[in-house]
Amino acid sequence: MDDAYGVFVAAPLGDAGPDAGEAGTPSGDGTMSSPYTTIGQALANLGSKTRIYVCNGVYGEQLSITTAVSVYGGLSCATGSADPVWTYVGGSSQVSSPSAAYALSVTGVSSGAVTVEDMSFAAPDATAPGTSSIAALVSSSSVHMMRVTLSAGSGANGAAGADGSMPNYSGAAPVGGAQAWTTINGLFSAQSGGT
């Protein structure tokens, strides 16, 4: 792991896991010594880099990936002599979506592939009638996942149906007169009365 190859993320204080040590700060720049606090910040500021290193902790966000990138969780960023020391310890970095729409979305990555390792994604129960809870949505993309947990909540019940009554059709004839329906060879023909 090196600043030259990737962008670094550590959960803000209070959401950091037991392996976190040094928490990310909102003013972070994505380096090992000053990580971002959200994975979304890292995605938006990749530049020419193709890796995101995520310290174990809880990230309350939805991830939307639209470019080839590798996201590696399961890391400790415990404080060393001066800066955080980033090492692999296993476990997983947890993305907990605030919305049931999705926790992870990977769409339109036509060149290259997305790799996700040692991460978990959870979406809460859906609340709006007829909606779903989606842990991950992958469309037109190649995604490789290792040691990844996807947890979707319950979908919401559908909306109440109509009461079943249907009023008879009543409409005006094209020229304002009464409508007369006739059958010719099994076909219906509408005629209007003149005025």
- Convert the pLDDT of each residue in 115-145 to its tens digit: 999 999 999 988 888 888 889 999 999 999 9
- Give the per-residue pLDDT at 19: 46
Candidates 100, 95, 81, 86; CA nearest to 20 is 86
Instruction: Evaluate if residue 82 carries a pLDDT over 90.
Output: no
Alpha helices in the chain (DSSP H): 39-44
The CA–CA distances, whole Å, from 77 to 121, 168, 176, 177 equal 20, 70, 80, 82
* Mean pLDDT, residues 67-84 taken together: 84
With cut-offs at 50, 70 and 90, classify the pLDDT of residue 153.
Answer: confident
| Average pLDDT score, the chain | 81
The single-letter DSSP state of residue 69 is: -
pTM, 2 dp? 0.75
Mean pLDDT of 22-26: 53
| Burial of residue 23 (number of CB atoms within 10 Å: 0-12, 13-18, 19+) | buried
Taking residue 146's Cβ as centre, other Cβ atoms within 10 Å add up to 10
Both tokens assigned to 142: 């190649």
Strands 70-79 and 6-9: unpaired
Higher pLDDT, 115 or 24: 115
Per-residue pLDDT, averaged over 144-168, amounts to 81
User: Which pLDDT score is estimated for 195?
Assistant: 47
- Binned at pLDDT 50, 70 and 90, residue 21 comes out as very low
